[in-house]
Amino acid sequence: MVEGGMKCIRVLLFAFNVLFTLIGIGLIAGGAYVQINLKGYSEIIGGQFSAAAVFLIILGVFIFMIAAFGCCGAYKENYCCIMTFAGILVIIFICEMAAGIAGFIYKDKVDGQISDLMKESIKDGKALEDWDKVQKEFHCCGVNNATDWNTNGTSQNKWPTSCCSDGGVGPTCVPYSVGCYTELKEFVKDKIVVIGGIGVGFAVIQIIGILFACCLGRAVKKEYEVV
């Protein structure tokens, strides 16, 4: 009876490790998606917003690697390996929850930071390529409006071509009437929510794996005590 129950738990732990591998792939894919989407705006908004995405990728690679460790422990019914695997899952669970919660909390702090970073990047004139991409993609000009470009030393009413809604240049340019701040802010917030959702969602799933590992470890320990 005990042997049958332990075999069942072992099979379930194996099945979870397959799921665990998929979680690792999911974390890598989700982190890469956010990282790729934010990459074109790094000179404008800085790299701190993509740091959580990089963290998810690293965590995903780590999870992918230790799934094999969990399978090995379950196959050999090694108490030490199984409990070490459970301990690692707990640590990863905490990391994922921390990343997810931080993402949701940080989302509400984006507004002021994005605005300051955008204004600074216009003033120093070092992110023109990124600004061209933002203005073309979101059909906007400047942070709040076209006059923001006058702060970087350009002539009055002379804006980048990407600002021009009619394709004009210089004095003949008719700039987009809306600034890029609102659009870019919402874009970044959406990506942060993705990070938060992935972190919390996968962390909850991992609770199942922790329970399976602990149950199998307990069953193995009881068997050794009987012997």
| Sequence ranges of the domains in the chain | 2-110+192-226, 112-182
pLDDT tens digit string along 155-214? 556 778 888 886 655 566 788 888 999 888 888 888 878 877 877 887 787 787 777 777
Quick one: tokens of 11?
């099979």
Measured in whole angstroms, how far is the alpha carbon of residue 166 from the centre of its chain?
Answer: 37
Task: Please give the model's pTM, rounded to 2 decimal places.
Answer: 0.67
pLDDT (average), residues 24-28: 83
Report the percent of the chain where pLDDT is more than 70: 77
In the chain, the DSSP E strands lie at: none
Half-sphere CA count of 148, side-chain side, radius 13 A: 28
Count of CB atoms situated within 10 Å of the CB of 170:
12
CA 138 to centroid of chain Cα atoms? 23
The domain 112-182 belongs to what CATH superfamily? Tetraspanin (1.10.1450.10)
pLDDT digits (tens, 9 = 90+) for 143-159: 998 888 876 555 556 77
Closest CA to 138 of 176, 194, 192: 176
